[in-house]
Amino acid sequence: MSLVDDQSPKAPTFRGALMVQGTTSDAGKSTLVAGLCRLFSRQNINVAPFKPQNMALNSAVTVDDGEIGRAQALQAIACGLAPHTDFNPVLLKPSSDTGAQVIIHGKALTTLEAKAFFGPESHGYKTLALAAVMQSYRRLQQQYSLVVIEGAGSPAEINLREGDIANMGFAEVADCPVIIIADIDKGGVFAHLVGTLALLSPSEQARVRGFVINRFRGDISLLQPGIDWLEAYTNKPVLGVLPYLHDLHLDAEDALIDTPKNSLSTALSASQRLSVLVLVYPRISNHTDFDPLRLHPHIDFHYVSMQTMAQSSHWPAADLVILPGSKNVRADLAFVREQGWDIALKKHLRYGGKVVGICGGYQMLGELIDDPLGIEDSAGCSDGLGLLPITTVLTASKTLTQVRGHLRLQDQQAEFSGYEIHCGESSLTQSDVIQPLSIEHYAQQPMAITKLDGMVSNDQQILATYVHGLFDHPAACQLILQWAGLDSRHAIDINQIREQQLNRLADVLEAHLDMNTLKGIIS
């Protein structure tokens, strides 16, 4: 059955699938899938995203109380859907250079070393993972007319081909067509495409139905001879050349974007702006929390990493320092101390600066972090930074829930919604503390409940919480920024920006892709 539009909302016109693979990581797979999902959704096609296996530290909590990669949550939003674990049935969250937590259908199962994923010992894992992947994919096929699938990395990693479930291995089992995207901005785009195709098996080569060239800037006529040669050499069409999209603000899967690139910036003096630093440790997680700050026109935003500090012995002047989440809290806390950031943080507080700790950052600010079962790494106990009166014990059970409630700060309050995603349970070591978040409702529970979360230090300089997403809500974000010293009523609505950017992306795809040929490939 052909892919046609229908006037009825989300009409199931056919059953089809399309897989987007890339010549490299960061070729544009996630963005292309998100844009196609929004474009097809606008055409009343009942579409859903899918990524068989993802490796990322940015994750989102789903409506069925699991977690998936942040990119798949964005793609679900592009489809007008609530994030669900079937959209990303296997998620690997690196906890060390060689190990990762394995999350299947939204739930953490275990932590494995790399050889258990890819080496001679990987058969058991791959059998389990493929079964989970196909269960989710078959369910999506029954529920949606079109499934747009994202590959991982490159399909031409020949050392990882055996038992592959992320790229061509999945495409062969699922029997779906594939298009390959390459980033021309990296250089060597024709070599990337031809080389990738050459390293595939004959059946996989036949499965590739076309190419997309991404991030082009310049005169398209100068590229045309290369396109003509590529099509003649491979006998496969170039489905489109996508322009380089400046100021495209969408949730990143993993990459840290330091430069604000903010077209809304104002000419406020330095004294009128708020300087915000976010510490980057090796296992930083969910840094998408800070997109509303990065895009705020009245904020000078910077990530502080080992690399950025290589040329300087001290931090830039800051009003607010944020300790983000972490996938390996004790190891990242040790890293903070190795860099001397614990000393810099205490100096920042002595000079009147403000500090926010989120999730793992909240745990670091406490007195003690105990991991008796070796949940995140080797079992052990670490002294915290000693700036908040809490102790934390990491447990086998993981908190995964969407929440909403009220933030109370400086005799004001603001509504918020967000999510919790952590293994630790923190206990107060003194009773006279302010807990600023009142959570009145948990998703998936029929009864309203109340839970207090987080802490404000007695000197009002430190705010900490387990809840991710506070800055996503303009009123809550504005309240925190006022507490931190920003005298501004301007607030960024990241949800509105996300919608605008998804529609902008869909418009670009509609203008630059051969949609008739693409729909023919799908059908």
Quick one: pLDDT at residue 125?
76
Catalytic residue from among 287, 302, 348, 468: 468
Please name which of 45, 39, 147 lies closest in space to residue 89, comparing C-alpha atoms.
147
Exposed, middle or buried by CB within 10 Å (0-12, 13-18, 19+), for 438? middle
Q: Are 59 and 286 in contact (CB under 8 A)?
A: yes
Quick one: pLDDT at residue 264?
44
Q: Where are the beta strands (DSSP E) in 190-323?
A: 208-216, 238-243, 274-279, 284-285, 299-304, 320-323
Catalytic residue from among 359, 423, 473, 477: 359
Q: Are 266 and 305 in contact (CB under 8 A)?
A: no
Quick one: pLDDT at residue 81?
98
State yes or no: is 473 an active-site residue: no
Which structural domains are found in the chain, ordered by start?
A: 16-86+133-248+500-522 (3.40.50.300), 274-485 (3.40.50.880)
Torsion, CA 34, CA 39, CA 40, CA 43, rounded to 10 = 160
* Secondary structure of 185-214 in HEC code, one letter for each residue: HHCCHHHHHHHHHHCCCHHHHHHEEEEEEE
Q: Write out pLDDT tens, residues 126-154.
A: 888 999 999 999 999 999 999 999 999 99
Residues 368, 376: Cα–Cα separation, whole Å: 15
Q: What is the pTM of this model?
A: 0.88
Over its length of 523 residues, how does the chain's per-residue pLDDT go in tens digits? Answer: 345 444 344 444 457 999 999 999 999 999 999 999 999 999 999 999 999 999 888 899 999 989 999 999 999 999 999 999 999 999 998 877 667 888 999 988 766 655 555 555 556 778 889 999 999 999 999 999 999 999 999 999 988 888 899 999 999 999 999 999 999 999 999 999 999 999 999 999 999 999 999 999 999 999 999 999 999 999 999 999 999 999 898 887 666 665 544 444 455 556 679 999 999 999 999 999 999 999 999 999 999 988 877 667 678 889 999 999 999 999 999 999 999 999 999 999 999 999 999 999 999 999 999 999 988 888 999 999 999 999 999 998 888 989 999 999 989 999 999 999 998 899 999 888 889 988 876 555 555 567 899 999 999 999 999 999 999 999 999 999 999 999 877 888 999 999 999 999 999 999 999 999 999 999 7
**Which of 365-399 are b and which e, b meaning 16 or more Cβ less than 10 Å from the residue's Cβ?**
bbebbbbeeebbbeeeebebbebbbbbbbbbeebb
Q: Write out pLDDT tens, residues 192-242.
A: 999 999 999 999 999 999 999 999 999 999 999 999 999 999 999 999 999
Residues 340, 334: Cα–Cα separation, whole Å: 10
State yes or no: is 359 an active-site residue: yes
In this structure, the strands spanning 380-383 and 354-358 are unpaired
The token duo for 417 is: 């919604």
